[in-house]
Amino acid sequence: MTFAAPSPIPSRTEYVLEAIKRGILTGGLVPGQALVETELAARFGVSKTPVREALKTLAGTGLVVMSQYKGVTVRTVDAAMAHEVYDVRLLLEPEALRRSIARRAAFTEAAEALERAATADDNAERSLANREFHRALYLPCGNPLLGRMLDEVRDQAALVSAVAWAVQPSWEKEAAEHEEILRLARAGDADGAAAALHTHIADFVRRAYPEQEADA
Protein backbone atom coordinates (compact mmCIF):
# COMPACT_ATOMS: atom_id res chain seq x y z
CA MET A 1 0.00 0.00 0.00
CA THR A 2 1.27 3.48 -0.82
CA PHE A 3 0.60 6.61 1.18
CA ALA A 4 0.24 10.06 -0.32
CA ALA A 5 2.48 12.64 1.32
CA PRO A 6 0.58 15.59 2.78
CA SER A 7 1.53 19.02 1.47
CA PRO A 8 3.16 20.83 3.05
CA ILE A 9 4.78 18.36 5.45
CA PRO A 10 5.07 20.09 8.86
CA SER A 11 7.76 17.66 9.98
CA ARG A 12 8.89 14.12 9.32
CA THR A 13 7.27 12.89 12.50
CA GLU A 14 3.98 14.59 11.64
CA TYR A 15 4.09 13.16 8.13
CA VAL A 16 4.67 9.62 9.41
CA LEU A 17 2.03 10.09 12.12
CA GLU A 18 -0.67 11.18 9.68
CA ALA A 19 0.28 8.51 7.14
CA ILE A 20 0.04 5.70 9.68
CA LYS A 21 -3.19 7.10 11.08
CA ARG A 22 -4.70 7.23 7.61
CA GLY A 23 -3.51 3.70 6.94
CA ILE A 24 -5.26 2.50 10.09
CA LEU A 25 -8.50 4.34 9.34
CA THR A 26 -8.63 3.14 5.72
CA GLY A 27 -8.01 -0.47 6.69
CA GLY A 28 -4.66 -0.54 4.91
CA LEU A 29 -3.17 -1.30 8.32
CA VAL A 30 -5.51 -3.80 9.92
CA PRO A 31 -6.23 -4.36 13.63
CA GLY A 32 -3.59 -6.62 15.15
CA GLN A 33 -1.04 -5.93 12.40
CA ALA A 34 2.54 -5.49 13.57
CA LEU A 35 4.12 -2.08 12.93
CA VAL A 36 7.87 -2.60 12.55
CA GLU A 37 9.99 0.54 12.83
CA THR A 38 12.54 -0.50 10.19
CA GLU A 39 9.83 -1.41 7.67
CA LEU A 40 7.93 1.82 8.20
CA ALA A 41 11.11 3.88 8.01
CA ALA A 42 11.95 2.30 4.66
CA ARG A 43 8.39 2.79 3.38
CA PHE A 44 8.35 6.49 4.22
CA GLY A 45 12.00 7.20 3.41
CA VAL A 46 12.87 8.43 6.91
CA SER A 47 15.02 7.29 9.80
CA LYS A 48 13.58 5.21 12.62
CA THR A 49 13.43 8.21 14.97
CA PRO A 50 10.34 9.95 13.49
CA VAL A 51 8.66 6.54 13.14
CA ARG A 52 9.33 5.78 16.79
CA GLU A 53 7.99 9.18 17.88
CA ALA A 54 4.89 8.80 15.69
CA LEU A 55 4.16 5.37 17.14
CA LYS A 56 4.49 6.73 20.68
CA THR A 57 1.96 9.45 19.86
CA LEU A 58 -0.42 6.95 18.31
CA ALA A 59 -0.10 4.74 21.38
CA GLY A 60 -1.07 7.73 23.50
CA THR A 61 -4.24 8.25 21.44
CA GLY A 62 -5.12 4.56 21.59
CA LEU A 63 -4.72 3.69 17.91
CA VAL A 64 -1.78 1.36 18.47
CA VAL A 65 -0.66 -0.84 21.33
CA MET A 66 2.93 -1.19 22.55
CA SER A 67 3.85 -4.54 24.10
CA GLN A 68 7.14 -5.76 25.51
CA TYR A 69 6.61 -9.10 23.81
CA LYS A 70 4.67 -8.30 20.60
CA GLY A 71 6.14 -4.90 19.82
CA VAL A 72 3.80 -2.31 18.31
CA THR A 73 0.51 -3.42 16.75
CA VAL A 74 -2.60 -1.72 15.42
CA ARG A 75 -5.19 -1.74 18.16
CA THR A 76 -7.80 -4.48 17.88
CA VAL A 77 -11.38 -3.29 18.06
CA ASP A 78 -13.80 -5.52 19.94
CA ALA A 79 -17.15 -4.95 21.63
CA ALA A 80 -15.58 -4.25 25.03
CA MET A 81 -13.23 -1.60 23.62
CA ALA A 82 -16.03 0.01 21.58
CA HIS A 83 -18.35 0.24 24.57
CA GLU A 84 -15.61 1.69 26.77
CA VAL A 85 -15.00 4.50 24.28
CA TYR A 86 -18.66 5.14 23.61
CA ASP A 87 -19.57 5.07 27.29
CA VAL A 88 -17.22 8.02 27.82
CA ARG A 89 -18.82 9.82 24.92
CA LEU A 90 -22.33 9.16 26.21
CA LEU A 91 -21.41 10.56 29.61
CA LEU A 92 -19.65 13.69 28.38
CA GLU A 93 -20.64 14.75 24.85
CA PRO A 94 -24.34 15.55 25.35
CA GLU A 95 -23.56 17.73 28.36
CA ALA A 96 -20.74 19.47 26.50
CA LEU A 97 -23.09 20.18 23.58
CA ARG A 98 -25.72 21.51 25.98
CA ARG A 99 -23.14 23.96 27.35
CA SER A 100 -22.00 24.97 23.85
CA ILE A 101 -25.59 25.87 22.99
CA ALA A 102 -25.97 27.82 26.23
CA ARG A 103 -22.90 29.83 25.21
CA ARG A 104 -24.59 30.58 21.84
CA ALA A 105 -21.99 28.83 19.70
CA ALA A 106 -22.47 29.38 15.96
CA PHE A 107 -21.42 25.82 15.03
CA THR A 108 -19.96 27.03 11.73
CA GLU A 109 -17.14 24.49 11.89
CA ALA A 110 -19.64 21.70 12.55
CA ALA A 111 -21.52 22.63 9.38
CA GLU A 112 -18.26 22.67 7.41
CA ALA A 113 -17.34 19.24 8.76
CA LEU A 114 -20.71 17.89 7.63
CA GLU A 115 -20.00 19.14 4.12
CA ARG A 116 -16.57 17.49 4.10
CA ALA A 117 -18.09 14.21 5.24
CA ALA A 118 -20.72 14.35 2.51
CA THR A 119 -18.11 14.88 -0.23
CA ALA A 120 -15.41 12.56 1.20
CA ASP A 121 -13.69 10.19 -1.22
CA ASP A 122 -13.37 7.32 1.23
CA ASN A 123 -14.34 6.16 4.70
CA ALA A 124 -11.10 7.42 6.21
CA GLU A 125 -11.83 11.00 5.12
CA ARG A 126 -15.45 10.55 6.16
CA SER A 127 -14.44 9.22 9.57
CA LEU A 128 -12.07 12.13 10.15
CA ALA A 129 -14.72 14.64 9.06
CA ASN A 130 -17.26 13.05 11.38
CA ARG A 131 -14.76 13.24 14.20
CA GLU A 132 -14.30 16.96 13.51
CA PHE A 133 -18.07 17.42 13.45
CA HIS A 134 -18.43 16.05 16.95
CA ARG A 135 -15.45 18.06 18.14
CA ALA A 136 -17.01 21.25 16.78
CA LEU A 137 -20.08 20.52 18.89
CA TYR A 138 -18.30 20.06 22.20
CA LEU A 139 -15.26 22.32 21.92
CA PRO A 140 -17.16 25.62 22.49
CA CYS A 141 -18.54 24.26 25.80
CA GLY A 142 -16.43 26.69 27.83
CA ASN A 143 -14.62 24.01 29.83
CA PRO A 144 -11.17 23.29 28.34
CA LEU A 145 -10.70 20.22 30.55
CA LEU A 146 -13.94 18.69 29.30
CA GLY A 147 -12.83 19.34 25.72
CA ARG A 148 -9.46 17.69 26.33
CA MET A 149 -11.09 14.65 27.91
CA LEU A 150 -13.24 14.16 24.82
CA ASP A 151 -10.26 14.80 22.55
CA GLU A 152 -8.50 11.86 24.18
CA VAL A 153 -11.04 9.38 22.78
CA ARG A 154 -11.48 10.97 19.34
CA ASP A 155 -9.06 8.71 17.46
CA GLN A 156 -10.36 5.59 19.17
CA ALA A 157 -13.92 6.52 18.26
CA ALA A 158 -12.83 7.05 14.65
CA LEU A 159 -11.20 3.61 14.65
CA VAL A 160 -14.36 2.00 16.01
CA SER A 161 -16.39 3.70 13.28
CA ALA A 162 -13.99 2.68 10.52
CA VAL A 163 -14.01 -0.97 11.58
CA ALA A 164 -17.80 -1.01 11.97
CA TRP A 165 -18.36 0.63 8.58
CA ALA A 166 -16.18 -1.98 6.90
CA VAL A 167 -18.63 -4.64 8.10
CA GLN A 168 -21.88 -2.70 7.97
CA PRO A 169 -21.84 0.65 6.14
CA SER A 170 -24.20 3.01 7.92
CA TRP A 171 -22.68 6.43 7.36
CA GLU A 172 -25.69 7.74 5.42
CA LYS A 173 -27.95 7.14 8.43
CA GLU A 174 -25.43 8.80 10.72
CA ALA A 175 -25.09 11.76 8.34
CA ALA A 176 -28.85 12.37 8.56
CA GLU A 177 -28.63 12.20 12.35
CA HIS A 178 -25.76 14.69 12.31
CA GLU A 179 -27.85 17.12 10.28
CA GLU A 180 -30.71 16.89 12.78
CA ILE A 181 -28.37 17.39 15.74
CA LEU A 182 -26.89 20.47 14.11
CA ARG A 183 -30.34 21.83 13.25
CA LEU A 184 -31.47 21.53 16.86
CA ALA A 185 -28.22 23.03 18.16
CA ARG A 186 -28.44 26.04 15.87
CA ALA A 187 -32.07 26.52 16.86
CA GLY A 188 -30.95 26.80 20.48
CA ASP A 189 -32.79 23.63 21.58
CA ALA A 190 -30.26 22.39 24.13
CA ASP A 191 -32.42 19.59 25.51
CA GLY A 192 -33.44 18.35 22.07
CA ALA A 193 -29.92 18.49 20.64
CA ALA A 194 -28.40 16.75 23.67
CA ALA A 195 -31.05 14.01 23.53
CA ALA A 196 -30.54 13.53 19.79
CA LEU A 197 -26.78 13.32 20.26
CA HIS A 198 -27.14 10.77 23.07
CA THR A 199 -29.42 8.61 20.92
CA HIS A 200 -27.07 8.94 17.96
CA ILE A 201 -24.04 7.72 19.93
CA ALA A 202 -25.92 4.94 21.73
CA ASP A 203 -27.63 3.62 18.60
CA PHE A 204 -24.39 3.41 16.65
CA VAL A 205 -22.53 1.26 19.16
CA ARG A 206 -25.66 -0.86 19.73
CA ARG A 207 -25.97 -1.55 15.99
CA ALA A 208 -22.27 -2.17 15.49
CA TYR A 209 -21.73 -4.36 18.56
CA PRO A 210 -25.12 -5.87 19.51
CA GLU A 211 -23.60 -8.72 21.48
CA GLN A 212 -22.74 -6.27 24.26
CA GLU A 213 -26.09 -4.48 24.26
CA ALA A 214 -27.22 -5.96 27.55
CA ASP A 215 -24.06 -4.77 29.29
CA ALA A 216 -23.96 -1.28 27.73
Q: What is the pLDDT of residues 108-159, one digit of tens each?
A: 999 999 999 999 887 778 878 888 999 999 999 999 999 999 998 888 888 8
Q: Which amino acid is at 5?
A: A
At residue 214 the predicted structure's pLDDT band, cuts being 50, 70 and 90, is very low
Domains annotated for the chain, with CATH where assigned, are: 12-74 (1.10.10.10), 79-215 (1.20.120.530)
Pairing label, strands 64-67, 71-74: antiparallel
Question: Does the pLDDT at position 215 exceed 70?
Answer: no
The residues with which 65 forms a beta bridge, in sequence order, are 73
Question: Does the pLDDT at position 210 exceed 60?
Answer: yes
Q: Which range (7-16, 73-82, 84-93) has the least confidence?
A: 7-16
- Average of per-residue pLDDT across 19-41: 89
CA distances from 144 to 57, 65, 141 (A): 21, 27, 8
Which pLDDT does position 211 carry in this prediction?
62
Question: Does the pLDDT at position 80 exceed 60?
Answer: yes
CA distances from 61 to 54, 57, 119, 157 (A): 11, 7, 27, 10
